[in-house]
Amino acid sequence: MFDKKYSYLGAHLQGSEIRRLFATSMRPNVISLAGGLPHADSFPNDEMAGAVSGLLTREKEIYLQYGGSRGNRDGFEAARCRMQKRGIDVPAEEIIITSGSQQVIDLMTKVFVDEGDTILMEDPTFVGALGVFRNYKARLEGIPMQEDGIDLDALEGRLGAGIKVKFMYLIPNFQNPTGLTTSIEKRMRILDLARQYDFLILEDDPYGELWFTGGPDDVRPIKAWDTEGRVVYTSSFSKIISPGIRIAWAAAPSGVIDRFDMARQMMDVCSNPLMQGVANELCSSGFLDAHIERLRGVYARQAETMLAALEKHMPDGVTWTKPDGGFYVWLTLPEGTDTLDMLKNALDADVAYVIGSAFSPDSGSRNALRLSFCHESESAIAEGIQRLAAVVRKRLISSE
């Protein structure tokens, strides 16, 4: 009705492909291996309710009031607590608390990118970031993924050819959507290249604490080696407390944080002070460490169930990644198979996944799909993979 009145940006906004597909995948009988939504059983209800009640009884004038636009003390302490466990030690001046890491991706693009500027990224990458980059009309350039992170030869080839890059967006740990982890050697090399070719890195790390085996040294963020402030680091409480808390943060040089702060003041004013308080209570009491330890066990078992079911049921010609943490497995079907076209058959069989091309900067990965093991029970995951394997088998036979 108002088509002619929209601004250029408003008329060209792109929604998330995943959200569109969600409508069908949320039907009651569908086993959803699609979304990255943690199961509600993982939410620490009682501890959050206790923290809310304590905070409001003590200081409602802080927790129900507007907060600082960069964050409140609670938020800084909670963010510093999580980062220190990962080898990042930055002062509060170098932190902004945001309403999700999604907001950091938006702030980074708003503050650094003009129309036509180049952003480098893993291909495939997080669909929510692609949406932001596209909405700001950036030039998206994907670098293919390998088992241990991006293909460095391809990256060096592009940089050597003289492209000017504003920043590179990376998810080094248990990447969304592939579940792959960038090796430590590659992290160091990417940081060297950022110095040599003068670009920034946006390091997105929402899954970094959710390893199945090993420990923090295997998933040390690039930010931990960043001595000159080239890395803007973001992480979030979405996957370790609950997505609904909408508390995340960025760590960057104070000049960048000031810009983010100015941009966010006109957006959503501040992040929820009460939820910053809750995050800090759960961190400082030690509860969150124990909770994350439990989550690691749950997700490791769910991943194991998915991998075992894939091994048992998938036909020859299908391959998949074996994540060491996080939420996702990336499945590749024989060349020429179209997972968008196959989705209808999967939904008819009451199982949902996300199509590979949703994660690609240039609509590639058409023969791939993302599976998540974070949302369903082990028995539902096993059943879901069995259903999906039947759909895949049928598709491969009919294309012979």
Ligand X SMILES: Cc1ncc(COP(=O)(O)O)c(C=O)c1O
Under the rule (CB under 6 A), what is the footprint of ligand X?
36, 100-102, 126, 128, 171, 176, 204, 206, 236, 238, 243, 248
252 contacts 233 by C-beta, under 8 angstroms:
yes
| Least CB distance to ligand X at residue 207 (A) | 7
Kindly state the tokens that stand for 321: 């990644």
Q: Which is nearer to ligand X, 145 or 392 (CB)?
A: 145
**Cα(266)–Cα(386) distance, integer angstroms:** 49
| Least CB distance to ligand X at residue 268 (A) | 12
| Least CB distance to ligand X at residue 145 (A) | 14
Least Cα distance to 245 among 49, 112, 378 occurs for 49
Residue 232, H or E segment: strand 231-236
| Least CB distance to ligand X at residue 349 (A) | 26
3-class SS string, 109-121: HHHHCCCCCEEEE
| Least CB distance to ligand X at residue 334 (A) | 27
| Least CB distance to ligand X at residue 129 (A) | 7
Q: What number of other Cβ atoms are within 10 A of residue 16's Cβ?
A: 13
**Cα(339)–Cα(134) distance, integer angstroms:** 23
Q: Which is nearer to ligand X, 123 or 204 (CB)?
A: 204
SS3 282: helix
Q: Which is nearer to ligand X, 247 or 389 (CB)?
A: 247
Q: Which is nearer to ligand X, 88 or 250 (CB)?
A: 250
**Cα(314)–Cα(392) distance, integer angstroms:** 8
Q: Which is nearer to ligand X, 90 or 279 (CB)?
A: 279
Q: Which is nearer to ligand X, 235 or 337 (CB)?
A: 235
Q: Where are the alpha helices (DSSP H) in the chain?
A: 8-12, 17-25, 45-63, 73-84, 101-112, 127-135, 152-160, 184-197, 254-265, 273-284, 287-313, 339-348, 378-398
Q: Which is nearer to ligand X, 101 or 302 (CB)?
A: 101
Residue 327 identity: F
Give the CB-nearest residue to ligand X: 100
| Least CB distance to ligand X at residue 49 (A) | 21
